[in-house]
Amino acid sequence: MLIHPAIDPVALHLGPLSIRWYGLTYLAAFGLFFALALQRLRDAPFASMTGARAWNRQHVEDLLFLGAMGAILGGRLGYCLFYKPGYYATHPLEVFAVWQGGMSFHGGMLGAIAAMVWFAYSCGKPMMEVTDLAAPCVPTGLACGRLGNFLNGELWGRLCDPTLPWGMVFRGAGDAPRHPSQIYQFLLEGLLLFALLWWWSRTPRPRGQVSAFFLLGYGTLRFFAEFFREPDAHLGLLGLGLSMGQWLCVPMVLGGMALWAWSLRQPSQNG
Nearest to 76 by CA among 51, 106, 114: 106
Instruction: List Cα–Cα distances, 153 to 102, 138, 169, 186, in angstroms.
Output: 14, 23, 10, 14
Hey, what amino acid is at 185?
Answer: Q
Within 8 A by CB and 6+ apart from 71, the residues are 108, 109, 111, 112, 115
Q: How is residue 43 annotated by DSSP? A: S
Residues in the annotated binding site: 146
Preceding amide of 180 cis, omega within 30? no
pLDDT tens digits, one per residue of 103-121: 787 888 899 999 999 999 9
Burial class (CB in 10 A: 0-12, 13-18, 19+), 123: middle
Q: Which residue has better confidence, 232 or 123?
A: 123
pLDDT tier at 271, thresholds 50, 70, 90: very low
| Residue among 245, 249, 251, 253 at smallest CA distance from 83 | 245
What is the pLDDT at residue 101?
A: 66
pLDDT on residue 152 = 87
Do 180 and 15 contact (CB within 8 A), yes or no? no
pLDDT tens-digit series, residues 117-160: 999 999 999 999 999 999 999 999 999 999 999 988 888 999 99
- Work out the pLDDT band at 40, boundaries 50, 70, 90: very high
Domain residue extents for the chain:
2-206
Closest by Cα among 200, 192, 196 to 269: 200
C-alpha to C-alpha distance for 5 and 153, rounded to whole angstroms: 8
The percent of residues in the chain predicted with pLDDT above 90, rounded, is 60
Residue 213's pLDDT is: 97
Residue 76 pLDDT level (bands cut at 50, 70, 90): confident
* Whole-number Å distance between alpha carbons of 40 and 24: 24
Per residue in 1-26, pLDDT (tens digit) is: 789 988 888 888 888 888 888 889 98
Which of 61, 69, 25, 66 lies closest to 41 in space, CA to CA?
61
Q: What is the DSSP string of 212-235?
A: HHHHHHHHHHHHHHGGGBPPPTTT
Q: How far apart are CA 210 and CA 135, in angstroms?
A: 7
Q: Mean of the per-residue pLDDT values for the chain?
A: 90
Give pLDDT tens digits for 171-210: 888 899 999 999 999 999 999 999 999 999 988 899 999 9
Q: What is the pTM of this model?
A: 0.88
Which carries the bigger pLDDT value, residue 127 or residue 87? Answer: 127
Cβ pair 152, 32 in contact under 8 A: no
